[in-house]
Structure 1
Amino acid sequence: MCLLELAKQTTGVAGDLTWISAGGLLRAAMSMGLNHDPENLVKMTPLRTELRRRLWVAILEINLQASLDAGALPLISPRDFDTRPPRNLDEQDLTAETGQDVLSDIGLGSYTQTSAQTALFESFATRLAIVNLVNQSDPPEYRETLRLSDDLVSSTRALMQRLRSYPRDEYGVSGISSFQLHLVEMIMNRHLLALHLPWWNDALRNPIHYYSRKTSVDAARTLASLYRTAPNPSPSLIDFDRLLVCGSGPFRSTPVHACLTLTLEYIHLKEEEQNNKGLTSLLEALNLM
């Protein structure tokens, strides 16, 4: 079911209904008890424990992205689950014979095939609060916007620094790939753009909201740069570029929002330039009188 939801998001087949089906997937997972950590349930093998944690984190992310695309509430709260994040382990280390001592020896400083998922989940609570804030019926408070923005910017900086410190492997086996780096950066910045973009128009009249205007433009520039094909791209970067060209859902709407933001900013800068020229001419004329 997770693969089916991902296929809907990337191919556009029944894409408008992704939020509905993602919600059904979330509730199916909760009915299976995935929202409760296996250590709080009956005794399970380390393999089954980690599989349940990975599956729950994947479902949460699918539901969150679908909610952001649909402009709807995720209908999930951190109080609704106590499942711990998956451990930083390679898939080949998870077998039926894997012991608890092996699971506790690997730290976050070493790269595994779960590193990107584990690192991204650390910002889930902040990104969930952002989606709830921008999609709620009541107007958001700017103070809350700034608080969430600070949390997300700090999380993004720490997240990207950690991921870039891992060895590189374009196939994502022994190191992190360009595909993973670009995808994580896209996810983080599209939340930042969604958080500040509603304040962009107010920032033109109220200097108090100028930070949102600047942050929106910076996030849009970062997103637009991801959609620029690099010379001699790596195999994983070719896959990412192909996904951006042929994909649907967030892979199609994100560049549109980024380009529109940059276009509006450019138009406003040109208008400000024309107004400043007119004001300068008026002042010069007054000085000659």
Structure 2
Amino acid sequence: MDPLTSTERPSRAASRPNTTKRNRIPLSCTSCRIRKLRCDRQHPCHNCTARGVDKLCMYANGAGNAKRGRTTNGATSEIRSKSPITGWLRDEDLFYRSGTHWDSVLAELASLRLAEPRKLQNNGATFHDTRLAAAKGCPSGSPDELLTVMPSRSAADKLVETFFDPCCFLGPITCAIHYPTFMKEYEQHWRNPSSSPLSRLALLYAIFSVSISFLQNETDNYMGLSETLATLYHTKSGQCLARISTNKICVQTLQAMLTRSVFEFSLREEWGAGIIGTMGSIVRLAMRQGLHRDPSHFTNITPFQGEMRRRIWTTLAQYDILSSFHLGMPAAIHTADFDTKPPRNLLDTDLEESMIEVPPERPFTKDVPIGYMLTKDSILRVMRRVVELLNSTEPEVYEKVLRLDKDLLDVYTGIPEYLRLGSWDDARKESPFLIIQKIHIETLYHQAVSVLHRTYLRGARTDPTLRLSQQRCVDSSLILLKYQASIYREAQPGGCLSTIQGYSITPDSENFSLAAMVLCLHLHYVTGKAHDEGSRVCDRVRYIFQALEGSRDIWKDLVGGREETRKVALVLDTMLDLLRPKISLAHADLSSSALDQAPSNGYILSAGDAHFAEHGVTLNDDPSTYILQSHRAQDTNNAAAAQPNIDMTGFDWVRIHGLP
């Protein structure tokens, strides 16, 4: 019990008027809430009648007297207290945001007076997902109850096949589960289901829930109840885990928890907020199992066990940094806390429980699925250090930024050829899941570059030594918007991404919201200085503005019922309206769109020190330090020299960025 309960709190409560908190009663029927459909509140409602599931049309008691939920304030009222670092707090919820979250940029754009509070109101929408709520806090069922909803053998076989299908892209989780070992235990389960341990049941139900979530043509197989069944299996998986004692945690338990997190992340509850409550627990349990230390430190771990522990830890570390990055929070795993090496590039068939040593690595080709996870891991390990730098309470040293930038470039240039994203004409000849892998790697790199340099956009206006950061940040953000437009186009019927099965990357994902906000911030800084009325703004600025308009149109087209998407679209629309008078486009006669002017990829053709030398940065004999040599250092008193170099006159984009 809280020690303050019997002492301080009564006196405080006595001074406050008595208030009664009433929970909001849902107005829609349960089936419509699960499917996120508009309910006409009849019994049965139109949606349930059309699907032939009248019996599922149930309402909460007192729904007729329910009132709309309280709306939230707008973006301008949310920006109250900016942290000493790069984060900020929303007063009503006290949500911390670091510089990696898209709406943290709003703190720097507060002077734009984004919108009236009523424009950004929640309108009764909420980030909380009903399906996730149904799976949280569920009581643990009895052993018999846990088996009552087990699907038939044929249905289970189909779901397992979908989960491990190489063409069904589910990310690194499939690499964390050794397929031959799993299938052996799977057969044991069907021979005697009642003897299966709880960890095995938890993993099975977690796999079922994820597979159903990503099944195509689910209406034919599950009569439109795929979401309901997925939530049911997810709940059963949680009930199995709830019955496992903390002292009985094993590797299979961690596999089940990680698989459950895939389902929770797929709900896109505020782009990953659904796994906040579980990710920290998984990390601590994994550390308790010693997965954060490389297996080479232990003599009682077999080569097979050691390699699987590396795979599981790598999967967990990737989920941790990605969710932390997109939510603008410090990661649960710190670089200094683990020394586990990446797993080797091997097939599952290369690993056997009885092997006495791990085989040598295979070449990085598309025939070895784990190669994608390893390539992604090399970028995410640097991204973790970027997040740590941005969330650090210590003063930020620019030399560290340059070091991280070079490390990002090094891992980017080391991407295997088969995972490099070329032209979309070539991409159409490849399998959709391979295209998604390439896009994920590209977006991760450019997101890391963008947030690493974003805090120096303001300083680059007056300090020539920071213009490398300005250029890197703006270029990567433009590239991300170019990918957004390409994904939006290819996701349409007939596009090369229209048939993707599994976890995909959508044009309204968190990968592109931060890039749009960064470019708005850049234009805000660039156009902030007074210009003579009618003066010609450089083409570079107009290109960026047009790219933002295209991105805004995509966000508005994909709003649907998602509050976060609606908010991004509204903020972009408002900011572009405020920036438009400063950027005259009435007589612009541009030969190509802004997205075509964006660089197609990073500084891939500028290897090592040559990349920095072009921008006045040289690497000393001591590789731990950089010296920034500004060619305009003597002109700091010249106002013209202090202007941001945004026109990029004479810059060879084709040579540097490899434009097609």
TM-score class, shorter-chain normalisation, is: 0.7 to 0.9
Task: Report the AA paired with residue 451 of structure 2.
Answer: A
Where relative contact order (Cα < 8 A, 6+ residues apart) is larger, the structure is 1
Work out which of the residue numbers 261, 279, 298 in structure 2 matches 1:5: 261
Q: C-alpha distance in 2, partners of 1:203/1:7?
A: 42
Q: How does 1:1-289 map to 2 (within 5 A)?
A: 1-13=257-269, 15-16=272-273, 18-96=275-353, 100=357, 103-104=359-360, 106-108=362-364, 111-159=367-415, 161=417, 163-164=419-420, 170=431, 177-228=434-485, 229-231=488-490, 232-235=494-497, 238=500, 243-245=505-507, 251-252=509-510, 254-266=511-523, 274-275=531-532
Deviates more, 1:20-29 or 1:185-194: 20-29
Deviations 1:204-237 (A, max 9, x none): 2322211111111111112112212345532588
TM-score (normalised: structure 2): 0.37
Deviates more, 1:155-164 or 1:23-32: 155-164
Q: Tell whether the 8 Å contact from 1:5 to 1:18 is kept in structure 2 after alignment.
A: yes
Identity of aligned residues (%): 22
Deviation at 1:272, TM superposition (A): 6.7
Q: C-alpha distance in 1, partners of 2:526/2:481?
A: 19
Q: C-alpha distance in 2, partners of 1:138/1:82?
A: 24
Unaligned stretches of 5+ residues in structure 2: 1-256, 422-426, 537-660
Task: Report the AA paired with residue 261 of structure 1.
Answer: V
Q: Tell whether the 8 Å contact from 2:268 to 2:274 is kept in structure 1 after alignment.
A: no
Specify the SS of the correspondent of 2:456.
helix
Q: Tell whether the 8 Å contact from 2:279 to 2:320 is kept in structure 1 after alignment.
A: yes
Structure 1 residues 147, 185: closer, same or farther in 2, change over 3 A? same
Which is greater in Rg? 2
Q: Tell whether the 8 Å contact from 1:116 to 1:180 is kept in structure 2 after alignment.
A: yes
Q: C-alpha distance in 1, partners of 2:406/2:499?
A: 30
Q: C-alpha distance in 2, partners of 1:242/1:26?
A: 25
Q: C-alpha distance in 2, partners of 1:2/1:271?
A: 47
Deviates more, 1:116-125 or 1:23-32: 116-125
Deviations 1:184-215 (A, max 9, x none): 11112111111111111222232221111111
Deviation at 1:243, TM superposition (A): 3.7
Task: Report the AA paired with residue 204 of structure 1.
Answer: R
Q: C-alpha distance in 2, partners of 1:70/1:99?
A: 42
Structure 1 residues 272, 52: closer, same or farther in 2, change over 3 A? same
Deviations 1:115-149 (A, max 9, x none): 01112223444222110111123442222112211
Deviates more, 1:125-134 or 1:55-64: 125-134
Q: Tell whether the 8 Å contact from 2:459 to 2:466 is kept in structure 1 after alignment.
A: yes
State the number of aligned residues.
268
Structure 1 residues 159, 100: closer, same or farther in 2, change over 3 A? same
Specify the SS of the correspondent of 2:415.
helix
Task: Report the AA paired with residue 193 of structure 1.
Answer: S
Partner of 2:585: none
Deviates more, 1:7-16 or 1:22-31: 7-16
Q: C-alpha distance in 2, partners of 1:216/1:123?
A: 17
Q: Tell whether the 8 Å contact from 1:178 to 1:237 is kept in structure 2 after alignment.
A: no
Q: Tell whether the 8 Å contact from 2:456 to 2:469 is kept in structure 1 after alignment.
A: yes
Deviation at 1:71, TM superposition (A): 2.5
Q: Tell whether the 8 Å contact from 1:47 to 1:96 is kept in structure 2 after alignment.
A: yes
TM-score (normalised: structure 1): 0.77
Structure 1 residues 142, 27: closer, same or farther in 2, change over 3 A? same
Q: Tell whether the 8 Å contact from 1:179 to 1:237 is kept in structure 2 after alignment.
A: no
Coordinate RMSD, CA, aligned: 3.3
Unaligned stretches of 5+ residues in structure 1: 280-289
